[in-house]
Structure 1
Amino acid sequence: MARTEDRAEEEFPGIGAPAQRALAHAGYTRLEQLDGVSESDLLELQGMGPTGTDILSDLLNARGMSLEA
Protein backbone atom coordinates (compact mmCIF):
# COMPACT_ATOMS: atom_id res chain seq x y z
CA MET A 1 0.00 0.00 0.00
CA ALA A 2 2.87 2.37 0.69
CA ARG A 3 3.87 2.25 -2.96
CA THR A 4 0.41 3.40 -4.07
CA GLU A 5 0.43 6.19 -1.48
CA ASP A 6 3.91 7.28 -2.59
CA ARG A 7 2.75 7.48 -6.20
CA ALA A 8 -0.34 9.46 -5.18
CA GLU A 9 1.81 11.93 -3.24
CA GLU A 10 4.08 12.33 -6.26
CA GLU A 11 1.13 12.86 -8.60
CA PHE A 12 -0.96 14.97 -6.22
CA PRO A 13 1.57 16.78 -3.98
CA GLY A 14 0.07 18.68 -1.09
CA ILE A 15 -3.19 16.72 -1.14
CA GLY A 16 -4.09 15.03 2.13
CA ALA A 17 -4.36 11.26 2.43
CA PRO A 18 -8.19 11.18 2.61
CA ALA A 19 -8.45 13.20 -0.61
CA GLN A 20 -5.80 11.01 -2.28
CA ARG A 21 -7.79 7.92 -1.34
CA ALA A 22 -10.98 9.52 -2.67
CA LEU A 23 -9.29 10.29 -5.98
CA ALA A 24 -7.89 6.76 -6.27
CA HIS A 25 -11.26 5.21 -5.40
CA ALA A 26 -12.86 7.30 -8.16
CA GLY A 27 -10.21 6.07 -10.61
CA TYR A 28 -8.07 9.21 -10.77
CA THR A 29 -4.43 8.16 -10.59
CA ARG A 30 -2.83 10.90 -12.69
CA LEU A 31 -3.26 14.66 -12.56
CA GLU A 32 -3.98 14.81 -16.29
CA GLN A 33 -7.14 12.77 -15.75
CA LEU A 34 -8.63 15.69 -13.83
CA ASP A 35 -8.37 18.15 -16.74
CA GLY A 36 -11.93 19.34 -17.39
CA VAL A 37 -13.46 17.46 -14.44
CA SER A 38 -16.08 19.45 -12.58
CA GLU A 39 -15.00 20.89 -9.24
CA SER A 40 -18.47 20.07 -7.88
CA ASP A 41 -18.03 16.42 -8.92
CA LEU A 42 -14.75 16.26 -7.01
CA LEU A 43 -16.34 17.85 -3.95
CA GLU A 44 -18.87 15.01 -3.89
CA LEU A 45 -16.06 12.51 -3.26
CA GLN A 46 -15.86 11.40 0.36
CA GLY A 47 -12.62 12.90 1.71
CA MET A 48 -12.31 15.72 -0.82
CA GLY A 49 -12.87 19.27 0.31
CA PRO A 50 -12.42 22.83 -0.95
CA THR A 51 -8.78 22.93 0.07
CA GLY A 52 -8.09 19.80 -1.97
CA THR A 53 -9.83 21.16 -5.06
CA ASP A 54 -7.95 24.45 -4.69
CA ILE A 55 -4.63 22.58 -4.62
CA LEU A 56 -5.63 20.42 -7.58
CA SER A 57 -6.70 23.51 -9.50
CA ASP A 58 -3.31 25.14 -8.85
CA LEU A 59 -1.45 21.97 -9.92
CA LEU A 60 -3.50 21.74 -13.10
CA ASN A 61 -3.12 25.44 -13.92
CA ALA A 62 0.65 25.14 -13.58
CA ARG A 63 0.51 22.53 -16.37
CA GLY A 64 -1.87 24.44 -18.62
CA MET A 65 -4.95 22.46 -17.59
CA SER A 66 -7.94 23.24 -15.38
CA LEU A 67 -10.94 21.94 -13.51
CA GLU A 68 -14.35 22.81 -14.88
CA ALA A 69 -16.01 25.49 -12.77
Structure 2
Amino acid sequence: MNRQETESGDLPKLANPALRALTNAGLTRLELIAERSEKEIKQLHGIGPNAVKQLREALAAKGMSFAP
Protein backbone atom coordinates (compact mmCIF):
# COMPACT_ATOMS: atom_id res chain seq x y z
CA MET A 1 0.00 0.00 0.00
CA ASN A 2 1.47 3.36 -0.93
CA ARG A 3 1.43 6.45 1.28
CA GLN A 4 -1.60 7.99 -0.46
CA GLU A 5 -3.68 4.83 0.08
CA THR A 6 -2.62 4.59 3.71
CA GLU A 7 -3.55 8.17 4.48
CA SER A 8 -6.74 8.40 2.46
CA GLY A 9 -8.21 4.90 2.83
CA ASP A 10 -10.90 4.51 0.18
CA LEU A 11 -11.48 8.22 -0.40
CA PRO A 12 -11.75 9.48 -3.97
CA LYS A 13 -8.89 11.48 -5.46
CA LEU A 14 -9.37 14.89 -3.87
CA ALA A 15 -7.40 18.12 -3.91
CA ASN A 16 -4.71 18.17 -1.25
CA PRO A 17 -6.43 20.73 1.02
CA ALA A 18 -9.60 18.62 1.08
CA LEU A 19 -7.67 15.43 1.70
CA ARG A 20 -5.74 17.06 4.55
CA ALA A 21 -8.95 18.39 6.08
CA LEU A 22 -10.49 14.94 6.12
CA THR A 23 -7.41 13.10 7.37
CA ASN A 24 -6.83 15.72 10.10
CA ALA A 25 -10.41 15.12 11.24
CA GLY A 26 -9.77 11.35 11.30
CA LEU A 27 -12.08 10.77 8.33
CA THR A 28 -9.94 8.40 6.30
CA ARG A 29 -12.64 6.04 5.04
CA LEU A 30 -15.97 6.57 3.32
CA GLU A 31 -17.72 4.70 6.13
CA LEU A 32 -16.53 7.35 8.59
CA ILE A 33 -17.64 10.18 6.31
CA ALA A 34 -21.07 8.57 5.98
CA GLU A 35 -21.47 9.01 9.75
CA ARG A 36 -21.26 12.81 9.32
CA SER A 37 -23.75 15.18 7.74
CA GLU A 38 -22.89 17.06 4.59
CA LYS A 39 -23.10 20.26 6.63
CA GLU A 40 -20.45 18.96 9.07
CA ILE A 41 -18.12 18.01 6.21
CA LYS A 42 -18.56 21.40 4.54
CA GLN A 43 -17.44 23.11 7.75
CA LEU A 44 -13.98 21.54 7.57
CA HIS A 45 -11.39 24.06 6.40
CA GLY A 46 -10.25 22.92 2.95
CA ILE A 47 -13.50 21.28 1.88
CA GLY A 48 -15.10 23.06 -1.04
CA PRO A 49 -18.09 22.36 -3.28
CA ASN A 50 -16.08 20.16 -5.62
CA ALA A 51 -14.83 17.95 -2.78
CA VAL A 52 -18.37 17.60 -1.41
CA LYS A 53 -19.60 16.59 -4.87
CA GLN A 54 -16.80 14.02 -5.24
CA LEU A 55 -17.51 12.60 -1.79
CA ARG A 56 -21.25 12.44 -2.47
CA GLU A 57 -20.58 10.52 -5.71
CA ALA A 58 -18.10 8.16 -4.03
CA LEU A 59 -20.55 7.46 -1.21
CA ALA A 60 -23.38 6.81 -3.69
CA ALA A 61 -21.19 4.41 -5.67
CA LYS A 62 -20.92 2.30 -2.51
CA GLY A 63 -24.59 2.61 -1.60
CA MET A 64 -23.95 5.15 1.15
CA SER A 65 -24.74 8.81 1.74
CA PHE A 66 -24.02 11.57 4.22
CA ALA A 67 -25.82 11.28 7.55
CA PRO A 68 -29.03 13.32 7.85
Q: TM-score, normalised by structure 2?
A: 0.83
**Distance of 1:31 and 1:68 partners within structure 2:** 12
AA aligned to 1:11 is D
AA aligned to 1:50 is P
Superposed displacement of residue 42, structure 1: 0.6
**Distance of 1:34 and 1:52 partners within structure 2:** 12
Superposed displacement of residue 50, structure 1: 1.1
Q: TM-score, normalised by structure 1?
A: 0.82
Percent identity over the alignment is 38
**Distance of 2:34 and 2:12 partners within structure 1:** 16
Higher helix content, 1 or 2: 1
Count of residue pairs brought into register by the alignment: 65
Q: Which segments of 5 or more consecutive residues in structure 2 lack a partner in the other structure?
A: none
